[in-house]
């Protein structure tokens, strides 16, 4: 579908006979804002969304708009109607899960399948079936990653202690993010932040505390007296000696060298 800038509104009186018909929309060029029910989503090239063609919706597109729409049914992609409804007007990002693969495949399949069907009908039908299966995998993967759908509720529960174990395994990596830890824990970023909110300490504060605790333990250790303060800071993921010193002083009240000296005196 190619169009100039416009706003399309489909109201309940325009729908005719009631039913259900889901459309998977792949944004190819430009941008589009789709609103359905109480949700709205803005799409950039490579992004997907789902909308129900039998329910009112509003779409606003830019001048360079181009998209690919695929009509699908919940049964064909192996999802329930409840799961399909939970995907309506949700953004599936261009780099999320199977999105890059499915996006590339659909962009080419729209032209090649129609042509190959004339000379290779059976192979083309098989390819179309595989494409529908991949679409189902894309949607199912988004449900699992979002933490909102029924698939996510069947996933094993992850508690804060398990997440902290994963954080400790990455403490030596500078720049480790909440997104990386959520991926390691097989939960959504939203779920991760909920876990820390229930604990009363944010992800960032927990990460900093863990690093400072382990750095302080190393500075106390008589076995590591030959290891420089800078190396200890780097070992626990601090970006530079200055960053380590400033953070240590701000949260423990004295610099790491002074902390080491005082603790060395305490052990004599």
CATH of the domain at 237: 1.10.10.60
Q: Are residues 123 and 213 in the same domain?
A: no
Q: Distance (Å, rounded) from C-alpha 168 to C-alpha 183?
A: 15
Chosen domain end from 120, 153, 186: 153
- Structural domain boundaries, residue 34: 2-153
Q: Are residues 149 and 169 in the same domain?
A: no
Q: Distance (Å, rounded) from C-alpha 209 to C-alpha 211?
A: 5
Q: Are residues 54 and 92 in the same domain?
A: yes
Residue whose C-alpha is closest to residue 52's, from 92, 23, 30, 74:
23
Q: What is the pLDDT of residue 153?
A: 43
| Maximal C-alpha separation, the chain | 88
Q: Are residues 116 and 212 in the same domain?
A: no
Chosen domain end from 118, 138, 153: 153
Domain count, the chain: 2
Chosen domain end from 128, 153, 178: 153
Residue whose C-alpha is closest to residue 58's, from 83, 71, 74, 40:
40
Q: What is the mean pLDDT, run by run of 10 residues, along the chain of 268 residues? A: 78 60 91 89 93 87 90 88 89 90 86 79 82 90 72 58 91 87 87 89 94 94 92 92 94 94 65
């Amino acid at each position: 579908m190619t169009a100039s800038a416009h706003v399309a509104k489909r109201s309940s009186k325009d729908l005719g006979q009631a039913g259900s018909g889901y459309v998977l929309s792949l944004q190819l060029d430009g941008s589009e804002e789709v609103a359905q029910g109480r949700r709205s989503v803005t799409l950039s090239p490579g992004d997907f969304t789902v909308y129900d063609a039998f329910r009112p919706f509003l779409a606003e597109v830019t001048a360079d708009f181009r998209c690919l729409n695929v009509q699908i049914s919940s049964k064909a992609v192996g999802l329930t109607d409840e799961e399909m409804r939970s995907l309506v007007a949700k953004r599936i990002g261009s780099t999320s899960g199977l999105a890059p693969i499915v996006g590339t495949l659909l962009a080419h399949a729209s032209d090649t399948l129609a042509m190959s069907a004339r000379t290779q009908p059976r192979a083309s039908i098989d390819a179309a079936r595989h494409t529908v299966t991949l679409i189902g995998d894309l949607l199912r993967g988004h449900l699992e990653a979002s933490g909102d759908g029924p698939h996510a509720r069947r996933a094993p529960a992850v508690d804060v202690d398990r997440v902290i174990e994963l954080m400790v395994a990455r403490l030596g990596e500078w720049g480790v993010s909440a997104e990386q830890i959520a991926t390691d824990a097989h939960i959504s970023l939203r779920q991760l932040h909920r876990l820390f909110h229930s604990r009363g300490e944010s992800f960032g504060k927990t990460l900093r505390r863990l690093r400072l605790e382990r750095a302080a333990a190393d500075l106390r250790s008589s076995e590591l007296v030959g290891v420089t303060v800078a190396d200890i800071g780097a070992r626990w993921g601090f970006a530079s000696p200055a960053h380590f010193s400033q953070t240590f002083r701000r949260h423990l009240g004295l610099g790491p060298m002074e902390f080491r000296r005082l603790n060395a005196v305490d052990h004599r």
